[in-house]
Chain A
Amino acid sequence: MFIEYTWLIPAIPLIMFVIVGLLAKGDNNRGGGLAILGALATLVISVLVVYEFLTGDAYATEGFVTESIKWFSIGGYEITLGYYVDGLTCIMLLFSTFISLLIFVYSMGYMDDQGKRKSRYYAEISLFLAGMTGLIVANNYLMMFVFWEVMGLCSYLLIGFWSFNHPQGDEASDNAASAAKKAFLVTRLGDASFMAGLFVLLYAFQSLDFTEVFNVAAIGNVDHNLIVIATLLLFGGAIGKSAQFPLQDWLPDAMAGPTTVSALIHAATMVKAGVYLVARSFPLFTQSAEVMLFVGLIGGITAILAASMALANNNIKKVLAFSTISQLGYMFMALGAGGYLMALGMNNSDPALMALGGLGYTAGVFHMLNHAFFKAQLFLGSGSVIHSTGTEDMREMGGLGKKMKSTSITMMIGSLSIAGFPFFSGFWSKDLILDTVLNASKYGSEGYLFAIVWILGIITVLMTAFYMFRMWYMTFGGPEGPATETCHGESPKSMTVPLWLLAIFAFGSGFLLLFGLDGIITIDAANGFLVGTLAGEGALYWVEHMLTNPYTYLSIGLALIGIFVAYLMYSRFAVNPGKFNKEGTSWLYRALENRWWFPQFYDWVSWTFGYKVGKTVNAFDQKVVDGAVNGLASAVVESGESGKYMQTGNVGNYASVVMLGMSVIFVGALLFIYYMGGM
C-alpha cells in the first residue's frame, strides 16, 4: 500500500525545489523550512516503503518490486519511467534520506548568516535530494543516468555557491568557481563513458530496464565481449562520480563549497553513486572476473594514493576529502574482490565460491552505509569547527577540545570509527572487506594481484588511523592556536543535535550486521542474482567470524599504531614530524603536498589538448583559410574596390580550401567505394 507511492520519494523534493526556487525570496528561513519539510516527507515515505517491502511477500520470493509507465519509445524499444525496490534500494534510501534530513536541519544553523542567498541554497539542495533519491529508485539505466546528471548539476551549482562572495574573501571565491568547473568537467568525462555504456547495453539487451538486463537467461544470450565493454564503460562513469584514480582530483577541490554541501554531496551521498552503480550492476559485472579484478585494482590504488595525500595536508576539509576518496576505494576493493570470486564461482559452478563472493558485495555496501554516517558526522563536525573559528587551516587551530565539547567528542567517535577501532562501525565493514580481498587472492590465476590489493589496503589502515588522529589532535588537542582564541565557542543546537545523532550511528551502525542486515544486502548468484534473502547470519556468527581471524588483529594493531604515532607527534610533541620529511624538503613530502602532481598533469592535458589545439585550428581558420578576405571588408565599405582584391586572388585561398575539400571527398569516396565494393 506504500510501495505504489515510491515515485513520491524523488517527486516531493523536486516539488520543493520548484516551490522554494520560485517563491521563497528574501532573508528568512521559509525556504529552509520548506526544504526540511520536503526531506522529512521523503524520509517518512522511504521508511514506510522499506518497511512494507521488507515485510512483504515479494521480498522473500522475487527479491524486488517494480512498476513503470512508458516514457517514450524509439525504434521499437520502450523506455520507461518507474521504480525498482530491492534490498539495496532500501539501504540506500534509508541512509541517504536520513542524512539529508539531518544536514538540512544543520544547514539552518550553518547557513543562517547567508542572507538572501539562502533560498537559492535550499532550492538547490532539494533538487539534489530529488536527484539522489531518483537515482536510487530508478528502474532503468536511462532514468538512472538522468538523475545522475541532475546530481552532477547540483554539485556544480553548490560547489560554486560561494563563487560570488565567499566569506573568506575574493581568492576563496575564485577558487570556488574554478573548483566547481573542474568537478563538473572531470565528472563529465565519466558521464560520457556511462552514456556510451548505456548504448552498448541497449544494443546488447534491447532494453535498459533492470528486470530485463539482470535476467540470467538474457545475460546468457548476450555476447560476452559486449558485456565486458558495457561494464567497463559503466565503471568509467563510476570512476568519475566516485572520484577514483585517475579522475580523483576533483573531489578535494570540491571542498570549496559550503561544508554542509561537502558533507551531503561529497561524502555521504552523491559520491556513493558510483559504488551504487557497480553494486546495482553486479549481475553484469560478475560476468567477467577480469573486469572485477580491474575494479578491485582501481579501488586499491585509489585507497592508498588518496590516503597518502591526506598525510601531509593541513586543511581540515581536504583531509576529510582525501579520506573519502580512500574509503570509496575500499568499497570498490570489496566489490571487485567479491565479484571476482563470484565470477570464478559461476565459471566453475562452485556455490561455496559464489557465497564467498556475495560476502564482498555485502562488505562493500555495508561499508558504504557506515561510511555515510561517520563521514557525514566528521564533515559536519569540521563544519562546526570552521563555523566557530572562521578558518580551515588546522595549524591555526588546536586546543579546541575545551571550547567545543560536543564537536570534539562526536568527532572523536567518528575518527575512531573510520580508523577501524574495534566495535565501532568502520571496524566491522573494513575488516570484512580486507577479509574478502584476502580470500580473493587465493583463487584463480590472477588472484595474486589481490594479494597486492590486500597489502595496499592494510597499509591504508595504518595511514587512515594516523591522518585522522593527526587531524583530531591538531584541531582539538595540544595548545590553543590563534584561531582558537578568537572562536565563538560551541555551535548552536541545530548543529550539535545532528552531530550527536550522526555520532550515535557512526558508532553503532556496525552492529546492524549482528541483527541480520547482511540478509538484506546480500546477492545470491546461484539464484538469479536475488538481492536480499531475508535470513541473515546470526549475531554471534559475525563476532566469531571477526575475532577468530588473525588478520583482524593485524589491522587492529596497525590502527592502534597509527593512532599512537599521531598522539606522539601532535599531542605529546614527543616526535617531531619534520624529522621524517626533512622539514618538508624530501621528495616524498613534496609529492604528497602536490598531490602527486595530478592537478598539474590535468592542467597540462587540458591546456595542451584543449586550448592550444583549439587556438591553432582557430588560427588556421582565420589566417590561412580566410585571412584573404579580412581587409576586403573595409575596402568594400570605404571605396568599393572589392573587384581589385578579388582579381589579385586573395579570395582564392578561401575558394581553394573549398575545392581542396571537395577533391579530398572525391578521392576518399573513390577509395572507399573501390575497396568496399560498388564500382
Chain B
Amino acid sequence: MNIDVSSIMDVFDSIAPVLPILILIIGALFMPAIQMIFKRGKVTAATALVVVIISAALNAHMLYHGQTGEFSSLFVYDAFSGLLILLFQAVVFIAILVASVSRETTARHVGAFYALLLVATSGMCFVATATDLLTIFVGVEMVSIPSYAMVALKRHDSRASEAAVKYVIIGGLSSGLTVYGISMLFGLSGTTNILGIASYVEGAGYSAALIIALATMIAGYGFKIALVPFHSWAPDVYEGAATPVSIFLSTGSKKMGIVVFIKIFFVLFVFIQSTKAGMTEGMQYVFAILAAVTMTVGNVVAIAQTNVKRMLAYSSIAQAGYMMIAFAVLSQWALTGTIYYMFAHVFMKGGAFVIVAILIHAGIGETLKDYRGLAKRAPLLSALMLIFLFSLAGIPPLGGFTAKFFLFSSAIVTDLGGAVTAQWMWLAFVAIINSAISLYYYARVIKAMYVEKGETEEKFKVPVPMMVAAILCVLGVILMGVYPGPFLHYCSEAAAAIMSLLP
C-alpha cells in the first residue's frame, strides 16, 4: 500500500498531528456504551484493543514517514512525540491484554475501567506532544485522576484502598506544588512556553524565586517518576493495585514523568547550556545526586522485600534513577540512551509484571514463598521470568544490557567530536555498581523458582491473552538486546527532534 502521509493531512487538516490521540479519546467515550450493549467484559476489552491498534497503526505510519505537525501551537507532533506515543500505546496494549482476563480488575465497572485506561493513555500522549507548561500540566492531570480511580476500582481490598487514598493525597499535594511552581515561573517570565522561560532564565540568571519554582516542580513531577524522596507511594500503589493497573502505572505513568522532565528540565537546561555553559552546572549536580540517591535507595530497599510486586516496584524506582542520568549529562547521546531505556523498561518490567499477573490469576500469590518450585509447575513461564529479570539486571545479550550500555556510557563518553569532560564518570560508576547489586534480589526470585521446592508440582492453565502479552514482551527484550540498530535509530531521531527545538 502506498498511502502518502499528506493524504492524512488533506483529510483531517490541522487535526492530523493529534489524530492518534483523538482516536483514543473517542474510543474511551464508547467503552461504557459497548459494555452496556454487549454486557461482556471480553468484548469491551477487544474493542479497546482495536481502538489502540488503529491509533497505533496510524501513529506508526506517521512516524515512519517522518511527519511533523503542530496543533494550535500547543501540541507538536515530531519524531520524539511520535515515538513516545508509540511507547504509551504499547504499554496500554499490554495492560489491556492482561486486564481482559484478569480476575483482579473490577467485574462491575468494566466499561468505566477501559474508558479510564484509554483516557489516561491519551493524557500521556498529550504530554508527549505538549510544548507548554499548561498543556503538560493538563496532560499529567488527565493521567493522574483516572489512575486514582483505577487503583481504587479493586474494591473490597484493604491494600488497594489504602494505596488509592495514599495516591490521591500525595498526588494532590504534588499537583499543588507543580501549579505553584508553574505560577511562579509565569510570574517571573511572563510566559508558560518552555523555550520562552529558557530565554528568560538565560537572560536574568537564577533568583531565589526561580530556584523555588524549580524545586517545587522537581518535587511535583518527581512524584510521578517516584524519585527518592518522593517515592514511598509507589510500592504501596503497585502492590495494592490490580496487576494490570500496576503494569500501566509502572511502565506508562512513570515514563510520562520522565517525558515531563525531558520536556521541561532537559530542554530548559540544554537551551541555557548551549549559550552559557557554566550556568547549568549547579542544576546538573542536583539531578546527578537525585539520580544516584534514587538508584541506590531503590536497589538497597528492594533487597529486603519478600513480596515480588513490591520488589519490582522498588526496582522500578532504581530504574528511574538510571534514567535520570540524562538530566545530569545533558547530551543528545544521554537522551537517546534514556529513550532507549524507556522502551527496554516497558518490555522487561512490563513482562515481569505480566508473569506476576498470570501467577495471581492462577491463584498462586505474589510473595517469594509462593514462587517456590515454579519451574516445575510452569517451565515456560519461569523461563520467561528468568529472561525478564536478567534483562532488568542488565545481563547481555538482553535489552536491559544494551539500554544500560547506551545510558551509562553517555555519562562518560561524549558524542564523537564533542567536548571532553570526565565530570560524570562517578555517576556512571555508581550506576554500574547499582546494577551489579540489583542482580542480588533478582537472583532471589530465580532461586525461588528454580531451586527451592514447592508444595505441589501441579500444572496450571495460562490465559491466552496474558501469554501473548508475555511473549510480545520477551520478543521485545531479546530483539532490543541482539539487534539494537533500528530501535536505536528511532531513539536518536527522537532525541535529535528534542535537540532541534533549540535555536
A residues near B (Cβ < 8 Å) are 70-77, 142, 145-146, 149-150, 152-153, 160, 163-164, 173-174, 177, 181, 184-185, 188-189, 191-192, 195-196, 198-200, 202-203, 206, 606, 610-611, 613-615, 617-618, 621, 625-626, 629-630, 632-634, 636-637, 642, 646, 651, 654-655, 657-658, 660-666, 668-679
What separation, in Å, do the CA atoms of A347 and B279 have in the docked complex?
A: 43
List residues of chain A with CB within 8 A of the CB of B364. none
Contacts of A75 in B (CB 8 A): 331-333, 336, 410, 413-416, 418
Is B203 close to A, CB under 8 A? no
Q: Residue of A at shortest CB range from B333?
A: A75
The answer to whether A677 and B278 touch across the interface, beta carbons within 8 angstroms, is: yes
What B residues does A651 contact at CB under 8 A?
A: 169
* B177 adjacent to A662 (CB under 8 Å): yes
Q: Does B390 contact A (CB under 8 A)?
A: yes
Contact A654 B282 (CB under 8 A): no
Asked if B408 is at the interface (CB within 8 A of a chain A CB), the reply is yes
Complex interface: stretch among B23-31, B124-132, B484-492: B484-492
Q: Among the listed stretches B183-191, B208-216, B353-361, which one makes contact with chain A, having 4 or more residues with CB under 8 Å of it?
A: B208-216
| Complexed CA–CA distance, A617 and B232 (Å) | 11
Considering only CB atoms, which chain A residue lies closest to B487 in the complex?
A: A72
Stretch from B35-43, B81-89, B94-102, B443-451 that touches the partner = B443-451
CB distance from B182 to the nearest CB of A (A): 15
* Known A71-B485, A149-B396, A206-B416; contact A630-B303, beta-carbon cutoff 8 A: no
Interface 1/0s, chain B 229-240, versus A by CB < 8 A? 110110110000
Which residue of B170, B336, B376, B417 contacts A655 across the interface (Cβ within 8 Å)?
A: B170
Interface residues of B in 187-235 (CB under 8 A from A): 205-208, 211-212, 214-216, 218-219, 222-223, 228-230, 232-233, 235
What are the 4 tightest A-B residue pairs by CB atom distance, in nearest-first order?
A633-B162, A76-B416, A672-B282, A673-B282
* Contact status A76-B417, CB under 8 Å: yes
B440 within 8 A of partner (CB) = yes
Q: B416-429, CB under 8 A of A: which get 1 and which 0?
A: 11101010010011
Nearest CB of chain B from residue A664's CB, rounded to whole Å? 8
Beyond A189-B436, A200-B412, whether A629 also contacts B451 by CB under 8 A is: no
> A199 vs B427: C-alpha distance in the bound complex, in angstroms?
12
Closest-by-CB residue of A relative to B429 is A196
> B304 contacts which of A163, A198, A618 (Cβ < 8 Å)?
A618
Nearest-Cβ distance from residue B282 to partner chain A, whole angstroms: 3
Which residues from chain B contact A610 at a C-beta distance below 8 Å?
300, 303, 437, 440
Which of B174, B235, B305, B409 has the most chain A CB atoms closer than 10 A to its own CB? B409
A636 touches B396 (CB 8 A): no
Instruction: Point out the residues of chain A lying under 8 angstroms from B428, CB to CB.
Output: 196, 199
Assuming the contacts A676-B282, A677-B281, asked whether A666 and B416 have C-beta atoms less than 8 A apart, the reply is no
Q: Mark out the residues of chain B between 425 and 469 whose CB falls within 8 Å of any chain A CB in the assembled complex.
A: 425, 428-429, 432-433, 435-437, 439-440, 443, 447, 450-452
Binds A, one of B52-60, B113-121, B139-147, B153-161: B153-161
Does B406 reach chain A (CB closer than 8 Å)? Answer: yes
Q: Is the CB of A184 within 8 A of B439?
A: yes
Q: Please measure, in the bound complex, the distance between the C-alpha atom of A181 and the C-alpha atom of B130, giving whole angstroms.
A: 47
Q: Which residues on the A side are within 8 Å of B19 (C-beta)? A: none
B290 within 8 A of A: yes
Partner of A670, one of B208, B405, B451: B208
- B173 and A195 contacting across the interface, CB-CB below 8 Å: no
Q: Which residues of A contact B222 (CB under 8 A)?
A: 661
Kindly provide the distance from the CB of A666 to the nearest chain B CB, expressed in whole angstroms: 4
Partner of A203, one of B206, B278, B412, B437: B412
Q: List 8 A-B contacts (CB under 8 A).
A: A72-B484, A195-B408, A199-B411, A632-B166, A651-B169, A662-B215, A672-B285, A679-B206
Docked-complex contact B450 and A163, CB < 8 angstroms: yes
Closest B residue by C-beta to A646: B169
Q: Across the interface, do A678 and B280 meet the contact criterion of CB distance under 8 Å?
A: yes
Shortest A624–chain B CB gap in Å is 10
**Once bound together, how far apart are the Cα atoms of A677 and B405, in whole Å?**
32
Contact status B396-A145, CB under 8 Å: yes
B166 to A626, Cβ gap below 8 A?
Answer: yes
Query: Contact at A676–B278, with CB atoms within 8 Å?
Result: yes
Q: A611 to B158, Cβ gap below 8 A?
A: no
Contact in complex: A662, B395 (CB < 8 Å): no
Closest-by-CB residue of B relative to A226 is B422
Does B165 lie within 8 Å of A618, measured CB to CB?
A: no
Shortest distance between the CB of B421 and any CB in chain A (Å): 10
Q: Is A629 in contact with B422, judged by CB distance below 8 angstroms?
A: no
When distances are taken between beta carbons in the complex, the residues of chain B under 8 Å from A185 are 439-440, 443
Chain B residues with Cβ below 8 Å from A657 are 229, 232
Q: Is B107 engaged at the interface, CB distance under 8 Å to the other chain?
A: no
Q: List the interface of chain B (C-beta within 8 A of A).
A: 156, 158-159, 161-163, 165-166, 169-170, 173-174, 177, 205-208, 211-212, 214-216, 218-219, 222-223, 228-230, 232-233, 235-236, 276, 278-283, 285-286, 289-290, 297, 300-305, 331-333, 336-337, 376, 390, 395-397, 401-402, 405-406, 408-418, 420, 422, 425, 428-429, 432-433, 435-437, 439-440, 443, 447, 450-452, 484-485, 488, 492
For A225, the closest partner residue in chain B by CB is B422
Chain B at the A interface: SS class: helix
A185→B447 CA distance, assembly (Å) = 13
Smallest CB–CB gap between A133 and chain B, Å?
15
Q: A630-B162, A657-B229, A657-B232 are in contact. Are A153 and B443 (CB under 8 A)?
A: no
- Verify A672–B169 contact, CB threshold 8 A: no
Are B432 and A195 closer than 8 Å at their CB atoms? yes
- For B230, the chain A residues whose CB sits under 8 A away are 658, 661
CA distance A660 to B177 in the complex (A): 13
Q: Which of B162, B402, B443 has the most CB of A within 10 A?
A: B162
Known interface pairs A181-B447, A677-B281, A679-B205. Does A618 touch B301 (Cβ–Cβ under 8 Å)? yes
A476, B452: Cα distance in complex, Å: 37
Partner of B170 from the list A145, A198, A206, A658 (CB cut-off 8 Å) is: A658
Chain B residues with CB under 8 Å of A634's CB are 158, 162
> B396 CB to closest chain A CB, in angstroms?
4
* CA of A675 to CA of B418, assembled, Å: 26
- The reply to whether B492 and A74 contact each other, CB–CB distance below 8 Å, is yes
Nearest Cβ on chain B to A239's Cβ, whole angstroms:
14
B169: nearest residue on chain A (CB-CB)?
A651
- Inter-chain contact B162/A665, CB cutoff 8 Å: no
B283 touches A669 (CB 8 A): yes
Which A residues touch B484, using CB under 8 A? 71-72
B432: A residues at CB distance < 8 A: 192, 195-196
Known contacts A615-B304, A654-B170, A677-B281; is-contact A76 B215 (Cβ 8 Å)? no
With a cutoff of 8 Å between Cβ atoms, the chain B residues found around residue A70 in the complex are 485
Nearest-neighbor residue (CB-CB) of A176 within chain B: B451
Contact B413 A672 (CB under 8 A): no
Is the Cβ of A669 less than 8 Å from the Cβ of B286? yes
Is A146 a contact partner of B229 (Cβ separation < 8 A)?
A: no
Closest to A120 in B: B379
B222 to chain A, nearest CB (A): 8
Besides A163-B450, A196-B428, 16 more A-B contacts (Cβ < 8 Å) are A72-B488, A146-B397, A150-B396, A152-B395, A196-B429, A199-B408, A199-B411, A200-B412, A203-B412, A611-B303, A614-B302, A621-B232, A629-B165, A654-B170, A661-B229, A669-B283
List chain B residues, Cβ under 8 A from A74.
Answer: 333, 336-337, 406, 409, 488, 492
Asked whether B412 lies within 8 Å of A199 as measured between CB atoms, the reply is: yes
Chain B residues with CB under 8 Å of A164's CB are: 376, 450-451
CB pair A617 B485 closer than 8 Å? no
> How many angstroms between the C-alpha atoms of A621 and B401 in the bound complex?
29
Cα distance, A142 to B406, chains bound together (Å)? 12
B302 surroundings in chain A (CB, below 8 A):
614
Chain A residues positioned under 8 Å from B415 (CB to CB): 75-76
Q: Which residue of B lies closest to A626 (CB)?
A: B232
In the assembled complex, which residues on chain B have CB atoms less than 8 Å from the CB atom of A670?
Answer: 208, 211
Residue of A nearest to B433 (CB): A192
Q: Looking at the assembled complex, report how far the CB atom of A18 sits from the nearest CB atom of chain B, in whole angstroms.
A: 12
Rounded to whole Å, the gap between the CB of B430 and the closest CB of chain A is 10
Task: Give the distance to chain B from A161, nearest Cβ to Cβ, in Å.
Answer: 10
